[in-house]
């Protein structure tokens, strides 16, 4: 029998430790070009017991440490990092470009021939709040600190190869914060115009909303911070985040940080693909807004020859799906995928249009939705409103149509969107609740009936409804008006008040006539 004294045991243990350290040193020095460690762990008997091996660490594991390359080995950047700026689509205030540069918070268009470009104030503004005094109009003019042209020679001298590319699509919104927190002004105007211009790059969007266009990688809101943006209208961020779940949202703080990084103007950000949106620039010339009072009108009219009839469908369907709306309801426009007509008043309906209209009530349920404002300012006379509700309830019961009488502020966003998605005719006093018309289906019957104080009229929802292909009726008490004979824009005393009259039986008759295909007569029709 072998016997070991304590000193012998200590020597043996010391030798084993030394051998273990030597083996580690040999293993880590076996590859001079790598600093990775390789550790092996083996549980006893795991090699012969598959059941045990499945729960054991038997394979080599390499820590994910990337070797650092010396600066001297970094290849020089190619000369073409300073790519020329290209203008792909131009509508005043709504522009699509490639290779837009930013340094110290100033935007630059790299071109050697700026005379061939539109005026810079049709691209952007100073983002001064929109007021209509001469001083305010002047204050909205962009300065050289907002935007400038730069030649390739000057860009190379200033930035050299110190270019930081920002990949994929950026939707850049330079809008005063007075509008961005408002449901209609953001979703129904600014984003509405953004989608119109972006969708014009794919004229083949179909009734299902199928498009080849990639999602934007980021939104940049230059003049508002995130809490302020979502404070008053949570549906604003809901639309963006459900439509584009991978898109980053950069607000004023992040933009300021980008500017701070390039404050010495010796390096620059290059945004590869940019859609620039600027309400102040859209209102610059007054050509489009002067005619229809809508900031998005230049985006609409400038893309008439390059847009699909279904340009809004990717947005409508995406938002409604995220809200859990039934697919059969979402897909109702497919019943009329091959119909190219509209009852917007822009032209006399053809006989085929009228045939389609007569058949329409048999292809989808008729749903009448009344959005009440009776708990806020700008509302109907209480007794008149009660009579109106009674008349519409009697009509829908008799015709076996569905009637929604809702206070949207009491409902969750999902419930609000579900009601809009199924609605055939939406009725309400002029106000923000009518923004929900954006989620109505495109059908021959889709109609917005907007109630005004007599002689009053505003274009907000009338224009939006018609460019989506819907019919719009302006209601003055017992009389309906529609394009092209709608009232002139007017805000009389009483427009914002609580005494708006409505004659219920007359409005019920107008609703029934619309569903039955009896359109309002127009001169020359």
Is pLDDT at 446 greater than 80 in this prediction?
yes
Instruction: Lowest mean pLDDT of 62-66, 123-127, 152-156, 472-476, name the range.
Output: 62-66
pLDDT (tens digit per residue) in 361-396:
999 999 999 999 999 989 999 999 999 999 999 999
pLDDT value of residue 37: 35
Whole-number pLDDT of residue 21: 57
Q: 452: burial class by Cβ within 10 Å (0-12, 13-18, 19+)?
A: buried
CA gap 249, 177 in Å, rounded:
15
pLDDT at 131: 78
What are 115-130's pLDDT values in tens digits?
A: 999 999 999 998 888 7
CATH class held by domain 329-515: alpha beta
**How confident is the model over 146-171, as a mean pLDDT?**
96
- Structural tokens at position 475: 């209601």
Q: Contact 511/396 with Cβ under 8 angstroms?
A: no
d(CA 385, CA 376): 14
* Long-range contacts of 356-361, Cβ-Cβ distance < 8 Å, separation of 24 or more: 356/444, 357/444, 357/445, 357/517, 358/517, 360/336, 360/443, 360/444, 360/445, 360/517, 361/445, 361/515, 361/516
From-to residues of CATH 3.40.50.720 in the chain: 329-515
The pLDDT assigned to 133 comes to 80
77 against 474, higher pLDDT: 474
Q: Are 194 and 94 in contact (CB under 8 A)?
A: yes
User: Which pLDDT belongs to residue 219?
Assistant: 96
pLDDT at 52 (0 to 100): 36
Q: Does the pLDDT value for residue 279 go beyond 60?
A: yes
Average pLDDT, whole number, for the chain?
Answer: 86
Predicted confidence at residue 40, as pLDDT, reads: 35
Confidence of residue 234 (pLDDT cuts 50, 70, 90): confident
* Cβ atoms of 280 and 127 closer than 8 Å: yes
Which residues are within 8 A (CB) of 39 and not within 5 positions of it... i.e. 6 or more apart?
Answer: 60, 61
1-44 pLDDT tens trace: 445 455 555 655 666 656 655 555 454 444 443 333 333 333 33
What are the structure tokens assigned to 158, written together?
Answer: 């200033």
pLDDT at 203 over 90: yes
Res 80: pLDDT: 56
Mean pLDDT, rounded, for 415-423: 98
CA distances 47 to 54, 184, 217, 466, Å, are: 10, 67, 48, 73
Of all residues in the chain, the percent with pLDDT exceeding 70 is 83
Q: Lowest-confidence range among 27-41, 89-103, 405-419?
A: 27-41
Instruction: Give the model's pLDDT for residue 23.
Output: 55
Cis previous bond, 142, omega within 30: no
Q: What's the maximum distance between 2 C-alpha atoms anywhere in the chain?
A: 123
Asked whether the predicted pLDDT for residue 411 surpasses 50, the reply is: yes
Q: Residues 95-121: what's their mean pLDDT?
A: 97
pLDDT in tens, 330-368: 999 999 999 999 999 999 999 999 999 999 999 999 999
What is the C-alpha radius of gyration for the chain, rounded to an integer number of angstroms? 32
Report pLDDT for 284: 77
Q: What pLDDT score was predicted for residue 385?
A: 98
């Amino acid at each position: 029998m072998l016997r070991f004294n304590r000193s012998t045991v200590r020597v043996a243990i010391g030798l084993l430790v030394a051998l273990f350290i030597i083996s580690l040193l040999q293993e880590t020095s076996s590859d001079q070009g790598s600093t990775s460690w390789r550790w092996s762990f083996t549980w006893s008997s795991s090699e012969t017991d598959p059941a045990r091996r499945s729960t054991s660490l038997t394979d080599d594991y390499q820590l994910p440490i990337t070797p650092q390359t010396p600066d001297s080995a970094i290849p020089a950047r190619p000369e073409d990092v300073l790519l020329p700026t290209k203008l792909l689509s131009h509508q005043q205030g709504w522009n699509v470009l490639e290779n837009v540069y930013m340094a110290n918070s100033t935007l630059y268009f790299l071109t050697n021939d700026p005379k061939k470009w539109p005026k810079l104030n049709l691209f952007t503004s100073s983002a001064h709040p929109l007021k209509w005094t001469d001083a305010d109009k002047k204050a909205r003019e962009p300065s050289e600190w907002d935007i400038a042209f730069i030649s390739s020679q000057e860009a190379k001298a200033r930035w050299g190869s110190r270019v930081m590319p920002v990949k994929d699509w950026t939707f850049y919104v330079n809008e005063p914060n007075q509008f961005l927190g408002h449901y209609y002004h953001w979703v129904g105007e600014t984003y509405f115009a953004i989608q119109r211009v972006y969708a014009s790059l794919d004229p083949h969007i179909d009734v299902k909303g199928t498009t080849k266009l990639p999602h934007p990688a980021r939104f940049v809101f230059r003049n508002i911070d995130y809490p302020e943006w979502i404070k008053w209208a949570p549906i604003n961020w809901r639309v963006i985040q459900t439509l584009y779940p991978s898109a980053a949202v950069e607000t004023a703080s992040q933009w300021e940080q980008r500017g701070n990084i390039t404050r010495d103007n010796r390096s620059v950000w290059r945004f590869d693909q940019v859609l620039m949106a600027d309400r102040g620039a859209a209102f610059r010339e007054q050509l489009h807004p002067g005619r229809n009072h809508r900031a998005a009108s230049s985006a609409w009219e400038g893309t008439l020859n390059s847009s699909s009839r279904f340009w809004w469908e990717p947005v409508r369907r995406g938002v409604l799906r995220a809200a859990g709306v039934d697919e059969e309801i979402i897909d109702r426009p497919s019943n009329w995928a091959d119909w190219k007509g509209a009852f917007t008043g822009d032209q006399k309906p053809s006989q085929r249009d009228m045939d389609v209209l007569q058949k329409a009530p048999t292809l989808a349920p008729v749903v009448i939705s009344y959005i009440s404002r009776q708990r806020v300012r700008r509302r109907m006379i209480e007794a008149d409103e009660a009579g109106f509700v009674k008349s519409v309830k009697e009509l829908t019961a008799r015709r076996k149509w569905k009637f929604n009488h809702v206070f949207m502020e009491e409902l969750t966003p999902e419930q609000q969107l579900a009601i809009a998605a199924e609605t055939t005719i939406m009725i309400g006093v002029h106000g923000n609740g009518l923004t929900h018309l954006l989620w109505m289906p495109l059908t021959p019957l889709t109609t917005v009936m907007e109630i005004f104080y007599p002689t009053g009229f505003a274009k907000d929802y009338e224009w939006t409804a018609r460019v989506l292909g819907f019919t719009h009726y302006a209601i003055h008490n017992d009389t309906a008006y529609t394009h092209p004979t709608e009232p002139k824009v007017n805000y009389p005393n009483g427009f914002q008040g609580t005494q708006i009259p409505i004659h219920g039986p007359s409005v019920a008759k107008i609703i029934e006539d619309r569903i039955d295909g009896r359109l309002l007569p127009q001169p020359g029709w």
